[in-house]
Amino acid sequence: MATKKLTLEIPESLLEELHRFAELTGESVESLVLQSITRSVLHFREKKYDLDELLSQVTTDNLHGEIDSGEPVGREIF
């Protein structure tokens, strides 16, 4: 399997917190970061939206009018 390298820049204060947490859990900082990213990505991918629920959030206060995007620049039909 091919591997790739990723560099992640984070604030020093966050790195210090990660080191403390790593000491408490016996995990490496790298492992903790990868676990966190993996959980976030999976949560993002698993999120499902319900159209009726989304439409119920539309109100006269947050509804905008038509948007003029100018003249067609390609082969648009609308």
pLDDT tens profile 17-71? 999 999 999 999 999 999 988 888 877 777 788 999 999 999 999 999 898 888 8
Residue 45, CB-side half-sphere exposure with 13 Å CA sphere: 6
Domain ranges of the chain: 25-56
User: How much is the pLDDT for 78?
Assistant: 65
Note whether 38 and 23 are within 8 A (CB). no
Q: What per-residue confidence (pLDDT) applies to 52? A: 95
Q: Which residues of 50-67 are buried (b: 16+ CB within 10 A; e: fewer)?
A: eeeeeeeeeeeeeeeeee
pLDDT(76) > 90: no
Quickly state the pLDDT bin for 12 (edges 50, 70, 90): very high
- Does 16 have pLDDT greater than 70? yes
